[in-house]
Structure formats: C-alpha cells, structure tokens
Amino acid sequence: SRYYREVLPGEIVKISRHDVQTLDVVRRPEGDPSAFCIFEYVYFARPDSIFEGQMVYSVRRRCGQQLAIEAPVEADLVSTVPESATPAALGYAQKCGLPYVEVLCKNRYVGRTFIQPNMRLRQLGVAKKFGVLSDNFKGKRVVIIDDSIVRGNTISPIIKLLRESGAKEVHIRVASPPIRFPCYMGINIPTKEELIANRPEFRDLANYIGADSVVYLSVEGLVSSVQESIKERQENSPKSQKSFIGKIGHCTACLTGEYPVELEW
C-alpha cells in the first residue's frame, strides 16, 4: 500500500517492502527548536505542498491577508504577476475588500528570461513574457502583489508596461520581507551586493523601480502567517500528544542574519 507522510526534522526513516520504520529522531543540540526554511513557504515550494501539516497555498494566502493589514492602500483593484504570488494576491484582495483582477497573462511562446545573456535582453524578455489585459485596468489604481523582490530587475519592466497600457497608479506590495543575507544552508541566494535590499537604491525603491509605492511584509508578519495554524493544531491536540510537540522554529537567516547554527569558517 502507498504511504505518504512528512519526514520529521532529524528523523531517520527506513523504508522497506514491508513497512516504514522510524529508526531515530535526532534532536537539535541544547533542545533548540527545529529551523525549517521559511522561504520554502514564500517562494520555493509548489502551492499544493504540505509542510508541518499545512498547505503552502494557505500560508501564502495568509501572508497576503497579513500584508493587507500592514500595508493597505487606496486603490481600485489587486492583481499579480502570474502566477506564483496569486494566493497572496487573493488573500490581500479579500482582506481589503477590493476585486482581484488579472492584468497580465502569460505568453506561452517565449523562452526563459533568466538565460538571456545580458540585462537589457532579460528585461525585454520580461516584457515579451506577458500579454497585457489593458481593458481590465485602464485609468485605474492597481496594486500588484509580488512574492519577493530579489534583484529588482523583473518588476520594473512590468510596472513600465502597465503604465504604458493605461494604469493610473501602480503600487507594489511584497508578500515577504526583504532578503538581505546569504544562505549557507544550500539555497542559492545571490550575493549580498546583488540583493536590492542591500543596495543604495533600496532607500527609494519605489522611484528606482517606477512604482507609486512599495511595502514589504514584516518578518513578524511572515512568521505569524506561517506559525498560526501550527500553534492552533498544537493547542487542539490531545493531551497524550502534548509531550511530542517541539518548540516551533523556522530559519529566517536570509531575512534577519540570525543563523540557526554557528557558522565556522
């Protein structure tokens, strides 16, 4: 029979023809909580993935709702760059009571932008990658929800495209905090110098990317969106299981610079 479940952090599992056995669960030293990568929820994972008993899609929608609480804006509609930030955009729209409207559609007939040899071609590639649904937003104030702005290259040609196609205002809301630090845990984050959050342009990011405003989700807002339903489930679990529950922990090193282990060079 097929058997699926999450492998716990530090768990050693033996899978044979007959069964699935837990051989050991290695705890973190000094009883530190586990440090699951928070960016899996923000960006890397498929929306139908389930981590820590919760669906990634639902966490992203909660991030959008939290972003609406932290950074509302006077606007006519909410949209996104298709389609990784769609759950967050739907959450934002729902919380603000604004309609969620598509402003761009993916053009299926172009290659990948990131393999273009230089920046100019990459930016042209971004503009070609999307069709503009101008009837949906002409003369209107648009909020675009993005899941993360890493270098800032991709979003500016999109803002330009929307303005040229009749958007009255373009506000950017980012459903994750700025990435500021490198990851030493195996995720290929660009160098500190390449990250827009560490560059002088970040001080006036809206002007740099051509938006009317830009606001990121706070680190606290992201952590609460991720941990909310884990805490609820723990509180509602039967007493007999309470002793198995570890402290909830997530790695936020790329956002805060606080690494879950000592770095030795």
Tell me the CATH number at 3: 3.40.50.2020
- The pLDDT assigned to 112 comes to 53
Which amino acid would we find at residue 204? D
d(CA 134, CA 103) in angstroms, rounded, equals: 7
Q: Which residues of the chain are modeled with pLDDT < 50?
A: 243-245
* Prediction pTM value: 0.88
Q: How far is CA 28 from CA 32, 101, 176, 230, in A?
A: 6, 45, 27, 19
- The pLDDT assigned to 33 comes to 85
Number of domains in the chain: 1
Which amino acid would we find at residue 237? S
- The pLDDT assigned to 222 comes to 98
- The pLDDT assigned to 243 comes to 44
Q: Which domain holds residue 43?
A: 1-264
- The pLDDT assigned to 244 comes to 44
User: Cα-Cα-Cα-Cα dihedral of 54, 231, 60, 68, to 10°?
Assistant: 160
Strand bridging mode 36-37 / 20-25:
unpaired
